[in-house]
Amino acid sequence: MDEYEDLWIDFPNYKIRHNSDLLPLMIDKPMMYLKGEKFQYNNSGYVLLAMIIEKVTGMYFDEYLKANVFDVCGMTSTGYYELDRLPARCANHYIYCEDTNDYRTNIYSVDAKGTGAGGAFITVKDIVNFWIGLSDGKLISRAMVLDMLSKQSGDGDDAEEGYYGYGVWIIDNSDGRDFAYFQGCDPGVSFISEYNRDKEIISVLVSNYGDNVWAEMRKIRELLY
């Protein structure tokens, strides 16, 4: 589909409150290609991974992340909030409408609550705290962190996109350790955060207007690297 919000034409987005709520949208779809044939990022895989976490731990995915990631890293303003139950000081997200030359919110365009595929509400400071907690070994062992930040999939044909590690993208750095980044976008939302391990630089760009944060990140690389 061309637009993410087309998902909700036949299935109301307000029904998406848990990972399992997304299964009807994908469970009967055919595979795009055979297992192991090629690499392609896929949101559905992370929905299934979140459901595995829920099955193993007996906790909802967002509750597990709060206890084992957000609280551990001091991400005090991060959480999976429902669009009709947003806490105070939580920003809405806006989509530009060309036909009226103004903006509308994305409340009918995305899941009512985020899932394993994304949808957490964050702050720039909290993402910095996440990288620090990860690199300090607060979440997983340092050996696992090195595997996570190393090339695992992809062919690198697109130099800007790079390769894929475990949950993060990897860009070649011929002068030292590779750069790692993770990103996300939804209608009205765009986000990218990069970690340059050689220079110990953490960059975070987030927009609640769906701005081109990738172009801005390129400027940061040119300036600082």
* CATH number of residue 182's parent domain: 3.40.710.10
Q: What is the pLDDT of residue 224?
A: 83
And the tokens for 87?
Answer: 């806490």
| pLDDT higher than threshold 90 for residue 156 | no
Provide the edge-to-edge strand list for the sheet that holds 179-186. Answer: 163-164, 169-171, 179-186, 189-196, 201-207
**Total Cβ atoms within 10 A of residue 165:** 21
Cβ neighbours around 89 below 10 Å, total? 6
What would the pLDDT profile of 50-74 be if each residue is shown by its tens digit?
Answer: 999 999 999 999 999 999 999 999 9
3-state secondary structure string, the chain? Answer: CCCHHHHHCCCCHHHCCCHHHHHHHHCCCCCCCCCCCCCCCCHHHHHHHHHHHHHHHCCCHHHHHHHHHHCCCCCCCCECCCCCCCCCCCCCCEEEECCCCEEEECCCCCCCCCECCECCECCHHHHHHHHHHHHCCCCCCHHHHHHHCCCCECCCCCCCCCEECCCCEEECCCCCCCEEEEEEEECCEEEEEEEECCCCEEEEEEECCCCCHHHHHHHHHHHHC
How many domains does one find in the chain?
1
Mean of pLDDT values over 179-202? 95
The mean pLDDT of 105-129, rounded to a whole number, is 96
pLDDT for residue 107: 95
Instruction: Please state the pTM of the whole predicted model.
Output: 0.94
Q: Which residue has the higher pLDDT, 225 or 214?
A: 214
pLDDT of residue 19: 97
Tokens representing residue 225 in the block: 């690297």
Query: What band does 185 get if pLDDT is binned at 50, 70 and 90?
Result: very high
User: What per-residue confidence (pLDDT) applies to 114?
Assistant: 96
Confidence of residue 118 (pLDDT cuts 50, 70, 90): very high
- Range of 199's domain? 4-224
